[in-house]
Chain A
Amino acid sequence: MKNGVGVAQNVVLFGGTSEIGQAIIHKLVKPGVSHVVLVSRNIDAAVNQVSDIADKFPDLDIHHVRFDADDAASMVHVVAEIVEEIGDLDVAVIAQGLLQEGVDYYANPAALLPVSDVNFTGTMVLMYALAARMKTQGYGKMVLLSSVAGERVRKGNPVYGATKAGIDGFALALDHELAGTGVSILVVRPGFVTTKMTSGMDKAPFSTDAESVATAVAQALSSSRSILWVPGILQYMFFVLKNLPIAIWRKLPL
């Protein structure tokens, strides 16, 4: 649970090498945190990224758990393994994500399966497993890294957008379902974030960086909000974009 000054004791990052996830962990680790768990495919990479935290907080226990983000069925066991290791999961940051660029889905439609397994199916299984555990704890917070790409799915990469649209809608409904249990979900909708995942891509307007997303998330966690746009202006931009008649929408150079 959180302590009186808003510090969660046990924090878990799914997608342990995600830059945004790492930035969030760096914001959440303060005096009072007991355990940090990094869940990733590549343990060594995740270890390297938190060595500074380990130096700064000698009393903090840092754990590593391996998972395959596209193995949806394994998520239940992954959650059980973490509970076995640290007890309560207070804040779970769900940051695993797969963005394929330049894949010809017409030539190879099955290539989209990992995208949907990581971004959508696996994340749903994971969130149910987390919700079940957190309900028995009477407390818990999930932070889902969604994307504005799901707000109105556009051509160019409909697969990525559709998985984000799906998981975003799922998370909001799950949050609604969990009302009164002490468990809640923060859905984060960043715009274009400059990270290794997006390196080489053209920057979109109102782009942001991992640090800004993390700062906004840390702040939002001390409030009761369930949707967070980064930067905040995107909320208004997408309100307009989302409601444009389709004829106009399709003419936009997006």
Chain B
Amino acid sequence: MTSQRLSGWGRTAWTVADLIHTTDPDAIRSAVQSAGERGVISRGLGRSYGAAAQNAGGTVLELTAENDPMGIDADFDPLTGLLTVASSVSIDAILRMCVPQGWFIPVTPGTRFVTVGGAIASDVHGKNHHVDGSFGQHVRSITLMLSSGEIIELSCELNPAWFWATVGGMGLTGVILRATVAMLKIESSKVEVETMRLENFDAVCQAMSSDGTDDDYRYSVCWVDLLATGSSMGRGVLTRGNHASAKSVESNDPLAYDPRLNVSAPAWVPNGLLNKWSIKAFNEAWYRKAPAKNHVGLESIPAFFHPLDGVNRWNRLYGKQGFIQYQFIVPLDRTDVLRRVIEKFSAAGVASFLAVLKRMGPQNDAPMSFPTEGWTLTLDMAAGIQGLAELLAEVDSLVLDAGGRHYLAKDSHVSSHAVRRGYPRLDEWMGVQEQMDPLGVWRSDLSRRLNLIDHRRSL
């Protein structure tokens, strides 16, 4: 056990906790039983942007299995596609194991460096949400250690309330030890991608709307240029795709899979490298790079799903000040709010290196799962921008007034009032959480800021 400073992927709001790296259930149980009044939270690969996997003054269990000499702790049946895997295993490791056998992870976020435990706790989504839903919908069972030390099996048939409280539960219902995931059959490791330049925000919304052709594509996401103004405001590049058939790949090894990291961001990047001007130049180049006419081509899994993973530790590009990622969702009929949000950020000169828009499908049964039917916009920005707290508060109000909400895996600033407005089933979830963890052992910096559990419950 070591005392360590931790932050999320955004490298803001560092706090100190006792870090215990283990995947052994007995070691986890004894750490939980000897925890002090500041409680315990699990942490995977630290890809949530805010404070979800840190616990100031308490215990953080680091459940990761990168470079495990024993290999991947998983049991995969290539006939049924059912994968039972330790929560500490990453999507990266799963893809390396399963893609060559013709199976793909049913849902992947924009990085493959997330653990299965983290993917369930955040109920992550990907470019296929409008078709396939979020990660939790593909989980057949979860092995969970409760704060009592008891290990239980959860599934949506056996004990739906506890299962769905754990999906999207931000690690606050127990330690996820293992899970069974239904994988997706693929014929090749390539994606047939259609790329389309869209000249303004109306064109973007039109192309992605549910009455268009979007549902013909399993994967769909649009990069949006937030700095473009005037008639080009909100212009974007839409990419949509489907897994390519073996035939279309024209290779004697259509399932060959070789992800590799290209470059690393240096440890010391000055604050302000990513600024309005550098990003504007990047955006222009990115927009122009997309073919003016619709274009169809084959892309590899890493290039299509995980482009940022090509740069190791890209989160350092914002310098020491760190950055925040702002992701919210509003109902389908509220594109006016998206527009106002983009205008607000643009007017304030906030440059976002990465702004993506996606239309999401229906909500699942998890009370704290983020996706609901609607539009989700994600943008990142330097944390040190003057007046950012006030600007975000204004944007938060626009989002909440429209019946929208914020993604807790990304969040690093919203208030406990905001989460209550955005997640109307929070009280119900808190009730289930209290049944599962009567003493309130599971705590994180996120749960403290948002009052996700009653912190006056004594340990």
A142 to chain B, nearest CB (A): 16
Q: Which residue in A1, A5, A34, A139 is a CB contact (below 8 Å) of B389?
A: A5
Q: Which residues of A contact B388 (CB under 8 A)?
A: 5
Decide if the interface of chain A is mainly helix, strand, loop or mixed. Answer: loop
Q: Name which of B50-58, B81-89, B206-214, B291-299 contacts chain A.
A: B50-58
| B3, B37, B393: the one within 8 Å of A31 (CB) | B393
Chain A positions within 8 Å of B3 at CB level: 180-181
Give the residues from 1 to 53 in chain A that come closer than 8 angstroms, CB to CB, to chain B. Answer: 1-7, 9, 30-32, 34
* A87: Cβ under 8 A from any B Cβ: yes
Interface residue stretch chosen among B12-20, B129-137, B144-152, B356-364:
B12-20
- Output the nearest chain B residue to A219 by Cβ-Cβ distance: B386
- In the assembled complex, the CB of A18 is this many whole angstroms from the nearest CB of chain B, namely 24
Task: Collect the chain B residues with CB atoms within 8 Å of residue A226's CB.
Answer: none
Q: Which residues of B contact A2 (CB under 8 A)?
A: 12-13
Task: Enumerate chain B residues within 8 angstroms of A136, measured Cβ to Cβ.
Answer: 36-38, 57
CB distance A32 to B415 under 8 Å?
yes
Give 1 or 0 for each of A148-181: 1 = CB within 8 Å of chain B CB.
0000000000000000000000000000000011
Closest residue to A9 on the B side, CB-wise? B449
B415 and A4 contacting across the interface, CB-CB below 8 Å: no
Is the beta-carbon distance between A138 and B16 smaller than 8 angstroms?
Answer: yes
Known: A4-B412, A135-B57. A32 touches B12 (CB 8 A): no
Report A49 CB to chain B, min CB distance, Å.
22
B413, A139: Cβ atoms under 8 Å? no
B417 on the A face (CB < 8 A):
yes
List, in ascending order, chain B residues with CB within 8 A of A139's CB.
Answer: 15-16, 56-57
Complex-state Cα separation, A59 to B397, whole angstroms = 13
Given A30-B389, A31-B389, A88-B448, CB of A5 within 8 Å of CB of B324:
yes
B275 within 8 A of A: no
A31-B390 contact in complex given A6-B383, A87-B455, A139-B16, C-beta closer than 8 Å? yes
* Given A4-B49, A6-B383, A138-B16, 15 extra CB contacts under 8 A: A1-B448, A3-B13, A4-B10, A5-B383, A5-B412, A6-B384, A32-B389, A32-B415, A59-B415, A59-B417, A136-B36, A138-B15, A138-B55, A181-B16, A182-B56
- Give 8 closest A-B pairs by Cβ, nearest first: A4-B412, A31-B393, A138-B57, A182-B16, A138-B56, A138-B16, A4-B12, A30-B389
Interface residues, chain A, with chain B CB atoms under 8 Å away: 1-7, 9, 30-32, 34, 59, 87-88, 135-139, 180-182, 222
Residues of B that sit less than 8 Å from A by CB: 3, 5, 8, 10, 12-17, 36-38, 49-51, 55-58, 321-322, 324, 383-384, 388-390, 392-393, 396, 411-413, 415-417, 445, 448-449, 455
